Amino acid sequence: MRAFFLTDHDTPARLSDVAIPEPAEGEIRLRIAACGLNFADLLMQKGTYQDTPALPFVLGMEVSGIVDATAPDVKGFAPGDRVAVFGGQGGLADYGCFSAARAVKLPDTMGWTDAAGFQIAYGTSHLALDHRARLQPGETLLVLGAAGGVGLTAVEIGKLMGARVVACARGADKLEAAKQAGADHLIDAETGDIRAEMKALGGADVVYDPVGGDQFTAAFRSCNPEGRLLSIGFASGDVPQIKANHLMVKNLSVMGLYWGGYLAFRPDVLTGSLAQLMAWHGEGRLKPHISHVLPLERAAEGMELLRSRKSTGKVVITVADL
């Protein structure tokens, strides 16, 4: 089978011919239809992601496809089932073996490309805003990196939860994508003054930050008393340093969110969140934004779209027309 294989962290991954894997205990094998790309895939290529697998491995964290085979001990899944899986690796290939515990069956209303780019982006934003920050109707939510894979979902979910949403992104095209996702106010990260513009809007109650760096600092300074700042990632490459005494002055809370980590210690929280999100999608209340759909042969091009920040929403790689 074809697989986008990484053999070392100094050489780009490349499409290779490898053997079709056999499912181990607790696993299902998928005939993969599509794979969503994530910023973490870029970090894995460099070996800097917190959950980078041991070399060599196949890139691709989240997939959709049809169950092709199951290990004898697997219950609840059978060949022919349509599923999505957050596997953490192995998605950019014709076939992949994944833990059945990480698989969710797809509703008939969800297509392969939506399913492949749904779990991480929507799951991250929903857990962050609902479970961690306890976002309330009428509060003001500031979303940094608002046109990215997770940023757009934060705009969409924040609006669905009843917040007033302020989207911060770079350039008119990305701001327009955020506006279409439901943003009430827009801030251009290239030309705007985040702190001043947020102060003019009455300040932020919740900040959703997948960017870090100077944008985090400006957003921090624009928070209202008892504001909550969600640290989602550091696309800028700059991890902010926080002075604890500054938290005290306004009674602020800074909290991290690593979506995949819930699989280890609170899987019920994660699966409950996904059930809610799948229901919203089925009701037509969530509309995934996928800016690029590319075939497996162009997976490297998809990675470059993420690296150069030329995409909005998700980039999805199609593997097979199932």
**Closest C-alpha among 268, 258, 280, 257 to residue 101:** 268
Which CATH entry fits the domain spanning 2-118+288-318: 3.90.180.10, 3.40.47.10, 3.90.1150.10, 3.40.140.10? 3.90.180.10
Distance CA 203, CA 209 (A): 15
State the residue for tokens 């037509």. 284
Q: What is the pTM of this model?
A: 0.88
**One-letter amino acid for residue 303 of the chain:** M
| Contact (CB, 8 A) for 241 and 214 | no
pLDDT score of 285: 93
Taking residues 275-298, report their average pLDDT. Answer: 93
Does domain 121-259 correspond to CATH entry 3.40.1280.10?
A: no
* Spatial distance between the Cα atoms of 177 and 193, rounded to a whole number of angstroms: 20
- The pLDDT, as a whole number, for residue 272 is 87
Per-residue confidence band for 16, with pLDDT thresholds at 50, 70 and 90: very high
Interhelix angle for 151-160 vs 119-126, to 10°?
50
Partners of 85 in beta bridges: 63, 103
Confidence of residue 260 (pLDDT cuts 50, 70, 90): confident
**What pLDDT score does 203 carry?**
98
- Residue 270 banded pLDDT, cuts 50, 70, 90: confident
Statement: residue 275 has pLDDT above 90: no
Question: Does the structure show a pLDDT above 90 at 301?
Answer: yes
Domain ranges of the chain: 2-118+288-318, 121-259
Residue 55, pLDDT above cutoff 90: yes
Kind of pairing between the strands at 185-188 and 164-169:
parallel
pLDDT > 90? residue 50: no
**CB–CB of 54/29 below 8 Å?**
no
Report residue 242: phi and psi, to 5°. Answer: -110, 130
| pLDDT for the residue 318 | 98
pLDDT of residue 268: 87
Please tell me whether the peptide bond between 12 and the residue prior to it is cis, using omega within 30 degrees of 0. Answer: no
pLDDT at 237: 86
